[in-house]
Structure 1
């Protein structure tokens, strides 16, 4: 089983890398024509197409040519694999169109909402939240569906918001997917492992061309597809392993925290959520003098640490560990955010 999985992960990486090389020759171009775009020259974009090609090649090979995995993945698990692709690829297409013609924010909001709700209905809700001991919070079906849709919508947007420095967002997604894959394997859920690790392999194939030189950008196609894979893998891992819903939040915490805290900060100052800006923490760090490569690696390290924490608490029999760990991360993020914004205001990097 592990040999088959390793093979298809390598296939995902190689297919993605080859497809991304073709995009560098023929793909659309991203021009630095607005302040939030911090690259200095026109660069090929829509590297998400390469990630999508790599992921598709790996999953088709796994499901059609591996007798071991056909046995290991139950029919329900195989349906989950196709369900995850069924809403990830429409987002890939929307992102590709947006890379080319810059779709209105209101239209994208509507499309993301509809696809997120449809995906939640198909994949299924998570209606129980273990809180420790024998305490379990049971959520009504409708609320659970809306919660799953909100998770998908949040994940795809957060990855998109954070895709502004070479390797940062997609590398963080890759590390988070590796953590989910390890959790799935440790808990006997091969379908979740297949989605997570094949997605991580395809992402690495893109990063070969993206980091550190930035010869190719992921574009909205990559950010939306990567966010969709992360969101679907999260739901499937929780459903198939019985892990706490807090576990995926921990695994992807650095990019979630940066995006969501920045949105809250902008709302508190009555600033539009539909206009581009340079107020994310990673953007402040770059404007403050750190290189894009240093900032990206810092987020990778933070995501890796959170992935290890997610794996550890997922293996802990007392579910209280998950929400205690998450609460600690939230407190740390708030403290770091307050310090960062005060530091940036003192140096005139952001408006008061």
Structure 2
């Protein structure tokens, strides 16, 4: 947050006009996250409401909201401004919480946000929106500064405050991209932010299917399974901090694939819809692989050692002599 405030202070007036409202609107999400980091007593519901309040505040300050999704009946409903603002606040709050969900290993959340911001910046640049592209790259550069002290050895952590802040900024820049450039398909920013969205949606469905509370944490996130199935198996000779950090590159790949697809055809809704389905299928396939490998590794770890029930002749003779 201090890095972003400094970047805003030294930016051009046009950049300040874009960044300052975002930082002001981010205050509820950031402060509620910091309060949770300090007290561990802020409920999940309160933090979700705070991130949604940040989304609503940004609409008040910028006038931007989601009015197009590429889904005809939903677009017709979003023509009503109150519903558009509510939907925008919910989407922004959802992505902010999604980034917090994936903040489990060194460099995972910040690296994913950097990938998403870079994709949004490249799309804005392709559309000729230089000011928005500069803003995306500015936030990306500040995030990269944090990344350097977080990955691989974890000298500084995001905490809930940092995760909500970065998640909110990523979400709102995605909203701004389509608001300022209507020819960009709404599916393009969704793909740029796809990995945390996939993780959150799948987590909610998985917990409901298993009859668990959707907001209660567990150890079945994709990154947790990667640690068991891949880092714990193939990198066990490394130190614990390095094993922690080596989980993140596998998730970055899952974030980079849809982001690259978004950059390749930002105006083609049909192609981007197919790319979204293909990217989600890739996520599910990788989740199935690491989940299966994790279960197998747990079974091997808990299996009792095999007992030698037969003795060869020499062993039998030795046993009889001892007797």
Task: Please give the TM-score of this superposition, normalised by the length of structure 1.
Answer: 0.73
Task: Please give the TM-score of this superposition, normalised by the length of structure 2.
Answer: 0.79
1:302 is aligned to 2:302: no
1:278 is aligned to 2:219: yes
Give unmatched runs, 5+ long, in structure 2.
Answer: 232-242, 300-323
* SS of equivalent residue, structure 1 residue 213: coil
Q: Which residue in the other structure is 1:341 paired with?
A: 291
Structure-2 change in CA distance of 1:226 and 1:136 (3 Å): closer
Q: Which residue in the other structure is 1:116 paired with?
A: 55
Please give the per-residue CA displacement for 1:283-331, whole angstroms capped at 9, x wherever unaligned: 11112341332221122233233222111111x5x43222221122223
| RMSD value, Cα | 2.5
Structure 1 residues 1-352: aligned runs within 5 Å: 52-64=1-13, 70=14, 79-105=17-43, 106-123=45-62, 124-130=64-70, 137-138=75-76, 139-141=78-80, 142-242=82-182, 243-290=184-231, 291-314=243-266, 316=267, 318-348=268-298
Distance in 1 separating the partners of 2:253 and 2:51 = 29
Distance in 2 separating the partners of 1:166 and 1:127 = 36
Structure-2 change in CA distance of 1:136 and 1:210 (3 Å): closer
Bigger relative contact order, structure 1 or 2, given CA contacts below 8 A and separation 6+?
A: 1
Counterpart contact for 2:48–2:93, Cα < 8 Å: no
Structure-2 change in CA distance of 1:191 and 1:206 (3 Å): same
Structure-2 change in CA distance of 1:263 and 1:120 (3 Å): farther
Give unmatched runs, 5+ long, in structure 1.
Answer: 1-51, 65-69
How far 1:122 sits from its partner (Å)? 4.3
Structure-2 change in CA distance of 1:332 and 1:118 (3 Å): same
Runs (4+) off by over 6 Å = none
Counterpart contact for 2:116–2:259, Cα < 8 Å: yes
How far 1:256 sits from its partner (Å)? 2.0
Counterpart contact for 1:188–1:241, Cα < 8 Å: no
How far 1:229 sits from its partner (Å)? 0.8
Counterpart contact for 2:261–2:272, Cα < 8 Å: no
